[in-house]
Structure 1
Amino acid sequence: MTHRTIPCGPGNPLRVVVVGAGAMGQNWLTAVTDEPGTELVGIADLDLDVARRSAAGLGRPDLPVGADAVALAADTDAQALVNVTVPAAHHPVTATALFAGLPVLGEKPVADTLGRALSLAAASEVTGELFMVSQSRRWNRQLFALRGMLEELGAIGTLTTEFFTSPHFGGFREEMAYPLLIDMAIHTFDSARFLLGAEPVSAYCQAYNPPWSWFSGDAAASAVFEMEGGARYVYNGSWCSPGAETSWNGAWRASGEKGSALWDGDNEPVLVADIRPAERPRSPYEGVGGALRVFAESLRTGSTPMGEVHENTMSLAMVEAAVLSARTGQRVLLDDVLDQARAAALREETRSDVRAALAGWPSIRGVLASRHQAPPAAAPA
């Protein structure tokens, strides 16, 4: 799918409104301000005092603010939105922006449910506007290097992630039914798809809560995903595991026909194989700022970025499949999860053009996969 392009660049920066001025919003406000290819022209938040304080904190107390993101974008001649609202607001804010002619860069998850994620993918098709999900932990130079190592190992049999931390968040996370799976595991699931270059076929997951846990819901989980091509991705994690904690990126091991690759999540990955690795340039992209730069470049060139809504949606599908398996105790097929999500989207969607687009997809997996492309080209270190 092609999307509308916008002439922008360092000499003609993309004019951006950031929606959501909470803790994560501050990171995005800084990134938009620091990136030469973007210009912050407004801050939208339902709490105008929070928006004003954010503007003042940037040294721009006169920066326009508003409660309605699309109206603020019109008033400021903005060309794009960065959506950093809470997950429940992702669908309404993004859909309204797309139909107002505004491309969107959004925080994960793409939406609060897989059905609404599919609706947003269809809305992007109908409007011809780009919707990209940041999924910021994928924009990690060490993760890119690990992917290069996997390419050296031939066929991959098993990819594993160990994730053990003990955060005391307070608030909504400690009341969720499946806090680890729903709020955190999407990062590692998304990275696994990127590393393997493959999509999930099935999921089997057990979620549980250790007796000492300070979470109300299941804060630990073990999951096995069958991936296209036969590899298995194995996730084992806990949010109530004090002592010997892993990186927030997790600890990774890939086992292939020619050897293994290890990454502790914080330092350079290690190739353990009797082969001479190819020289590979480093990725020029990193974190939130890297995602923002790719978004602006894609709008300028018309290229499809990593994280485009169709490509990113399968990461949320892995989360919903894992949760469904944990609830039922059964192995779950991803195609069944996708079919159920489309049925939900068709029931909920109020726009006839979006419903028609959804109904017209001959294969959900096929439509999502058709938007894939290789990672951005790397630049010399």
Structure 2
Amino acid sequence: MVKAIQIGLGHWGFSWTKEVIPRVPNIEMVGYVDSNPEAVKRVQDELGVEQALCFLNLEDAVKGTDAQLAICTLRTEAHYPVVKRCLELGLSVIVEKPFATTIAQAKELVALAKENGRVLMVSQNYRFQPAPILAAELVGAQRFGPVNLVSIDFRRHAPTQGYRYWDMPDPLLADMSIHHFDLMRMVLGDNPKRVSCRTWNSPASPFGHNPIGVATLEFEKGTIVSYRGSWMSSGPVTPWAGEWVMDCSEGQITWTSRDHFMGKSGPDRLSLQALDGAAEPQELAPVEFTDRVGTLAAVAKVVETGAVPARFSSGEDNLYSLALVQATILSASRSGEWVEIAEVLQ
């Protein structure tokens, strides 16, 4: 069993407390932390958490428990200082994306985790679904040869779907596209080289910042990704992972993932279509722990055994996903100029 404390019990953190943590069998919760007494009282009243396990600050929680892992589910701006302090106190950490506000902060956290011999994982939950896992395996095995072009579409109409972060800067690229950018890296088994991006708003939009964008991304092995995303689309809704068409030298791989919303759900889907052949739907192997449960189960296993699995989203690995977000934002601010990933990582 891995002994853990959770830090951040607000709206999203409470969701982790209620829906995610109890589903990971090798996690033993020894503490819950939030500076807001009302948030602490809520987990006690609604979830039956013992008062003795609740703390109003991190220092007391660490002194009062023998925790090995910190589950950081705070607001984004609190990620860097809290994760840093957790690592300094000797804890391994899993944290929601983005795990830092700047590349410099992210690099500092990665270095600190290495220095202290601790695990730092970013909860990139879209990785823990059957379709992208199979897509990554097919690309790795060169099922249809090299991947030449990837086309990705994400379409949602936020005003009719309960979205509420109207004033968030870069609501598409920073809040949503980071999932798609991370999946690009995982599925292609490659890192980005440079990007060009344009974003804009629509007249009827309640967003204060641009919710629509297009980007062209060039990867190190030569694959080009054409990405189109919108929070203001009036077209057919896509699953959360978007709709992917991967054009290879000898055929196509098409897939989509996380087709669920507000109580409705559908399975992941993946089809193979050989050159001049018909599309053939593939049977997807079940994933034992999916989505956020998958990320927490993965980090618990690494803390427990020291063995790092394939496609593990460590802080060091996630630097490139964070860099993609910052590079696309920078390119959009420069009216679509190409931005080298190396420039952002520096």
What is the alpha-carbon distance in structure 2 between the residues aligned to residue 226 and residue 242 of structure 1? 29
Q: Secondary structure at the match of 1:179?
A: coil
Task: Return the offset for 1:283.
Answer: 4.0
Give the deviation of 1:246 after TM superposition. Answer: 1.1
Structure-2 residue corresponding to 1:51: 40
- Determine if contact 1:29/1:40 at 8 Å carries over to the other structure: no
Q: CA RMSD in A?
A: 2.1
Matching residue of 1:194: 186
Q: Which residue of 2 aligns with 1:229?
A: 221
Report the equivalent of 2:338: 331
Structure-to-structure mapping, 1:31-50, within 5 angstroms: 31-50=20-39
The AA in structure 1 aligned to 2:9 is A
Instruction: List gaps (5 residues or longer) in structure 2.
Output: 260-267
> Does residue 1:207 correspond to 2:181, yes or no?
no
Structure 1 residue 97 displacement after superposition: 0.5
Q: What is the SS of the residue equivalent to 1:241?
A: coil
* Amino acid in the other structure paired with 1:298: V
What do the CA deviations read for 1:63-87 (whole angstroms, capped 9, x no partner)? Answer: 5222212421321222211000011
Q: How many residues align?
A: 326
Aligned identity (percent) is: 30
Task: Tell me by how many angstroms 1:27 deviates.
Answer: 3.0
In structure 2, the partner of 1:161 is: 152
Q: Which deviations, in whole Å up to 9, do the C-alpha atoms of 1:293-328 show, x marking residues without a partner?
A: 111111122123501110011101000000000001
Any conservation in 2 of the 1:214–1:240 contact (CA below 8 Å)? no
Within the alignment, does 1:238 sit opposite 2:230 as a pair? Answer: yes
Q: Within 1, Cα distance between the matches of 2:136 and 2:115?
A: 34
Write the letter of the residue equivalent to 1:187: H
Measured after TM superposition, the shift of residue 256 of structure 1 is 0.3
TM-score, with structure 2 as normaliser: 0.89
Q: Secondary structure at the match of 2:233?
A: coil
Instruction: Give the 3 Å change call, closer, same or farther, for CA 280–208 of structure 1 in structure 2.
Output: closer
Matched, 1:18 2:13: no
Q: TM-score, normalised by structure 1?
A: 0.81
Shift of the alpha carbon at 1:236?
0.2
Gaps of 5+ in 1: 1-12, 340-381
Shift of 1:164: 0.9
Structure 1 residues 21-42: Cα deviation after superposition (integer angstroms, max 9, x where no partner): 1232123223222322011122
Give, in angstroms, the shift of residue 47 of structure 1. 0.8
Q: Which residue is 1:27 aligned to?
A: 15
> Judging changes above 3 Å, is the alpha-carbon distance between structure 1 residues 63 and 238 closer, same or farther for their aligned structure 2 residues?
farther
Distance 1:56 1:183 in 2: 31
Q: Encode CA deviations 1:253-294: one digit per residue, 9 max, x unaligned.
A: 111011111113333211112699999855433111111111
8 Å CA contact 1:91, 1:116 repeated in 2? yes
Three-state SS of the structure 2 residue aligned to 1:205 is strand
Tell me if the contact between 2:271 and 2:281 (Cα under 8 Å) persists in the aligned partners. Answer: no
Task: Supply the distance in 2 between the matched residues of 1:127 and 1:216 (Cα, whole angstroms).
Answer: 41
